[in-house]
Structure 1
Amino acid sequence: MDLAARIGAEAPAKSWGQARDAARDAGEPLPAVARELADALGHALAEPLVALTDLPPFDTSAMDGWAVAGPGPWRLGGTGVLAGGRPEPLAEGTAVSIATGAELPPGPIAVLRSEHGEVEKSARILFDRAPSPPAPGRDVRPRGQECRSGEPLLPAGTTVTPAVLGLAAAAGYDRLVVHRRPTVELLVLGDELLDSGLPRSGAVRDALSPLLPPLLRCGGDVIGRRRIADDFELLHDAIRHSPADVVVTTGSTAAGPVDFLHAALAETGARLLVDSVAVRPGHPMLLAELPPAADGRNRRLVGLPGNPLAAVAGTVTLALPLLRRLSGRPDAEPRRVAVSVELLGHPRSTRLLPVLLRENAVAPLPFDGPAMLRGLALADGLAVVPPGGLPVGSTVDVLEVPRP
């Protein structure tokens, strides 16, 4: 029995759910680091975000107009209050112009909107033309309306989005403590791949080099992509010396004449965690634990099939769940959708089927073979069809294919 067959015999194919669970359990979130706000985008919070101040930090005007004290009419006094300025106290029966977001004078103050006031310029008297008199607190954003100092705002594990950056800055943060994102190196294997032009002389275009890095960046930082020829020593050296936390390979996962991945992993001293998954397309995918790097970092390898749709299936099954785990983020949950057209399944394996979502029901797309991308290019997601298929009237999980 050759090496690939021996390894396969020792590690029977896992179900699709078991494979995803194995990917999620294949590591722990990477260590926490403190980053400047601008550098924290896309990372996961390593600790809860807690307000460092009240928001707003003081009573502010919600409108352009006048801050008024007591019932009108009011005598206008002082200079107007702009955002960032410090107001003087207002005596009863007086008013001062104020801008949206400006701090209000102390006391029981209301804001009279600019469209509701009329000024007698010669006497500097402000008259109220509002439908009802402004009661104290009207059009005022009171201190602490959004949160109080010390209040939890977001839990650990939250992905830092632009909105999270804005909230953190408003709440008083200059830096955020986040999990380091895993680094990823993509190794595209095969002598038959072309970088440009039309397929010719038995060679085909490399569809995976432009396809996979944007998907992988949804879970980690892609630090490199290399083309590796069908050569055992070249592949072994590339895996052994990769600086990445996660190495992702394409092709060479089966037992063909130039499929050297299993042998290279064995020579490297890797431990297989997943070797083949009962899923179509993409069943010859694998996940391995590599020997630690020289600096002690744990390393993993995800082996994707070489066919494009099968490689995407491997990405959503193994690569993204692993990368999200390492980055401290929860894995994406499928969307439960009604089945309005019978979904044909494989007799023994889960099927990942490109589908459109129409009025919360799935519509399967053609061109769903392992080497095809035409269906995926139109798809809203991949329906997770269990063995045997699903009848009309049932429901199906739809897994989103990340869009950067």
Structure 2
Amino acid sequence: MNLTLNSRPIAGADSFSPEEYRSLVQQNLLPHLPSESETVAIEKAVGRVLAEDFFAPADLPAFANSQMDGYALTDAACLRSDRVFTVGADVAAGSAASGLEVSNDLVYPVMTGAPLPAGYVAVVPEEKARPLGQTQGSFAVAGSRVELPRTSPDSFVRQVGSDVRAGELLIEAQTPLTPVHCALLAAHGQAEVSVHRRLRVLVLTGGDEVTSETKLASGKIRDANGPLLGRLLEGAGAQTRRVQISDDAAALLATLRQVLDEFGPDLVLSSGGISHGKFEVVKNAVGLLKTGATSGLELAASWFGHVAQQPGGPQGLILLGRGDDRPLLPWLGLPGNPVSTLVTYTLVVEPLLARWQGISLPARYGRLAEPAEIRGRAGKTEFRRARVKTVYAPDGTSSSELTVDEQTGSHLLHRASRANALVEIEPEATYSAGASLRWYPLNTPPLTQTL
């Protein structure tokens, strides 16, 4: 099959702009990601994405109830000139309040959340009452008298359906569920909710130079990309399986076949092995697939090339067949440098996962802080680390202020850990203090980005 961008085959294309590559990935991978939903208990639904619109099954509140601890009055009793009344039986929250006498001279002590007795329309808070006889706590006891001020019907009463009407759309599909959403579902008697199934992502990191040994041998490095991608994906709600690989292409394909059976991934992410070196394991594995010598896996399509950006230029996109009628398996090859991996995840993978769940990530813009001046690179969009903070004007409005890291090295993972944003620098552009730049959140859970 052919990979396409805007319905046109990309055969022969070796470079894209960042925006073109993001579109290329979404157009070719989204159709092969799963669309199933699953049912989970609402206690485990926070952060999950609602699969279907949720409509109110009933009015809420379901019955008129008291907003305060106080005394319930009839309509006529609200404004009558004589303000002294006989006290009836207590009406507690959770009681049925049925079978009670209705009288314009009789008021009932009602507690917050208790149903109003039939025929009663208003509540006077107990702190505004003056008991004229024996009391229990601050309330007059049943059979005694109490003086109440004038009030109006509906005062301190939560009417039926004042929060929600039956049939009302309460939560739209594709909404990331918050604790308050789950409380709303519980209030309507929902113990479970239908959410998008969690995506299963296989993360491949390593190479012969990567080791898990405590003491580093000469020429070896530790794996930073595995934990990085694992935590980012899990923060986005995915299930992950992380496998360390070598530079052996045949071994990579054997591992992939095994994990396909054990884990059943919906998406593969790998870091490294996609550039122009001799030991580019992902590229070499695709080369083996092209020969047809590997059983159980088939190459449906692949592209390796460059995105006109810094860092994170080398990229790869692969679609694998599994020798049966299952959907093709999407595979994104990310660059191996940890900061380049982070940048590609932020710019490509995160928007892909958001689109899959029906979420639109907002475009964000901020003002460049003093005293910076930034010049863009020739022919490449640059993504620079930055700190973004919210600043408030005297009139209460707010804006984002961006302080851009002066150092640009893509290997500077420590400096990336201090940043909370990526700033987009367009090719050959010049930005002075106060200029508007687009920025992308870093080290921030995707859910908080959408709120």
TM surpasses 0.5: yes
Tell which has more relative contact order, 1 or 2 (C-alpha 8 A, sep 6+): 1
Instruction: Note the alpha carbon deviations across 1:175-218, whole angstroms, 9 max, x for none.
Output: 32222221111111222223364654222222222222121123
Alignment of 1:3-402 (within 5 A): 10-25=12-27, 26-28=29-31, 30-69=35-74, 70-71=77-78, 72-82=83-93, 84-88=94-98, 89=100, 90-122=102-134, 124-128=144-148, 133-195=150-212, 197=214, 199-241=216-258, 242=260, 243-266=264-287, 267=289, 268-272=298-302, 275-292=305-322, 294=324, 296-326=326-356, 328-340=357-369, 341-358=372-389, 359=391, 360-392=400-432, 393-402=434-443
Structure 2 counterpart SS, 1:106: coil
How many angstroms does 1:292 deviate by?
4.6
| 2:294 corresponds to | none
What are the Cα deviations for residues 121-149 of structure 1, in whole angstroms up to 9, with x where unaligned? 43622223xxx633221122221112211
Unaligned 5+ segments in structure 2 are 1-9, 135-142, 290-297, 392-399, 446-451
Distance 1:277 1:293, change over 3 A: farther
Partners of 1:110 and 1:262 lie apart in 2 by 75
Deviation at 1:287, TM superposition (A): 2.6
Q: Please give the alpha-carbon distance, in whole angstroms, between the structure 1 residues aligned to 2:387 and 2:158.
A: 44
Q: Distance in 2 between matches of 1:119 and 1:292?
A: 81
Kept in 2, the 8 Å contact 1:220–1:323? The answer is: no
Q: Deviation at 1:273?
A: 5.7
Q: CA RMSD in A?
A: 2.5
Which amino acid is the alignment partner of residue 12 of structure 2?
E
Name the CA distance, whole Å, in 2 between partners of 1:263 and 1:202: 22
Q: Contact 1:273–1:289 at 8 Å: present in 2 too?
A: no
Deviation for aligned residue 1:325: 2.8
- Which residue type is aligned with residue 254 of structure 1? S
Partners of 1:279 and 1:349 within 8 A in 2: yes
> Quick one: structure 1 residues 114 and 167, their matched pair in 2 at CA, closer, same or farther if it must change by over 3 Å?
same
Larger deviation, residues 203-212 vs 115-124 = 115-124
The CA deviation string for residues 270-295 of structure 1, in whole angstroms up to 9 with x for no partner, is: 41367432221111122322225756
The superposition leaves residues 323-366 of structure 1 with CA deviations (integer Å, 9 ceiling, x where unpaired) of: 2233x232422311123432332211211111112322211024
Mark the runs of 5 or more structure 1 residues left unpaired by the alignment. Answer: 1-7
* Whole-angstrom distance in 1 between the partners of 2:175 and 2:304: 28
Q: Aligned residue pairs: how many?
A: 392
CA distance in 1, matches of 2:184, 2:214: 48
3-state SS of paired residue (2:219): coil
TM-score by length of 2: 0.80
Cα 1:288/1:199, change in 2 over 3 Å: same
Distance 1:274 1:68 in 2: 77
Whole-angstrom CA distance in 2 between matches of 1:76 and 1:238: 79
- Does the 8 Å CA contact 1:66/1:114 hold for their aligned counterparts? yes
What is the CA deviation profile of residues 25-57 of structure 1, one whole-angstrom value per residue up to 9, with x for unaligned ones? 221461233333234333322221211111222
Structure 2: how far apart are the matches of 1:309 and 1:388?
Answer: 23
